[in-house]
């Protein structure tokens, strides 16, 4: 399986959207449905636009509370350098939470990394901007990693 991060809007109302997030590398994969907003998706695109700006530049975007205190599914995406070599990685943490009536909660998580190139980030930024404008279910923003 080729490493990648995918985001697709699967539900929305006037205040928020639910995004299906899927990520995989050679060994692991995971997905979760996370609440965010179209503005947050635009901000994510703006944050990573032109990345990397310096050799040790690191940027992150996430939704919701981070584990283990999370009450809802969330994800965190961090772009970071690898040892000041001019190579970059995407670190993706996906935390899927299922809650039931009462206090029972089930959760699963995956934390994975894959190599990325500046050109693939530029394409991802364009796809995030498109995702922020398209109706739900019509488009997936995709970040392709290095195999």
Of the listed ranges 22-26, 123-127, 143-147, the least confidently predicted one is 143-147
Percentage of residues in the chain with pLDDT exceeding 70? 93
Identify which of 123, 103, 129 has the alpha carbon closest to the alpha carbon of residue 4: 123
- Domains of the chain, residue spans: 4-144
From residue 127, how far is each of 45, 46, 84, 124, 134 by CA, in Å?
9, 12, 28, 5, 10
Token pair of 66, please? 């981070």
Whole-prediction pTM value? Answer: 0.91
- What pairs with residue 21 in β-bridges? 7, 32
pLDDT band at 30 (very low <50, low <70, confident <90, very high): very high
Percentage of residues in the chain with pLDDT exceeding 90? 72
Exposed e or buried b per residue across 105-122, where buried means at least 16 C-beta atoms within 10 angstroms of its C-beta: eeeebbebbbebeeebbe
Q: Which CATH architecture has domain 4-144?
A: 2-Layer Sandwich (3.30)
pLDDT surpasses 70 at 104: no
pLDDT of residue 103: 66
Identify which of 114, 145, 18 has the alpha carbon closest to the alpha carbon of residue 7: 18
At 56-100, the pLDDT tens digits run: 899 999 997 665 566 788 999 999 998 777 889 999 999 988 877
């Amino acid at each position: 399986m080729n490493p990648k991060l995918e985001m697709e809007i699967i539900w929305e109302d006037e205040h928020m959207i639910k995004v299906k997030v899927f990520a995989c590398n050679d060994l692991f994969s995971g997905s979760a449905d996370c609440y965010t907003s179209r503005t947050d998706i635009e901000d994510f695109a703006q944050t990573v636009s032109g990345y990397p700006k310096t050799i040790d530049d690191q940027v992150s975007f996430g939704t919701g509370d981070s584990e283990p205190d999370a009450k809802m599914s969330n994800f965190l995406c961090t772009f970071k350098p690898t040892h000041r070599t001019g190579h970059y990685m995407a670190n993706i943490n996906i935390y899927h939470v299922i809650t039931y009536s009462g206090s029972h909660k089930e959760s699963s998580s995956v934390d994975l990394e894959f190599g990325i190139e500046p050109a693939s980030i530029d394409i991802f930024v364009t796809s995030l901007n498109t995702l922020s404008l398209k109706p739900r279910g019509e488009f997936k923003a995709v970040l392709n990693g290095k195999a």
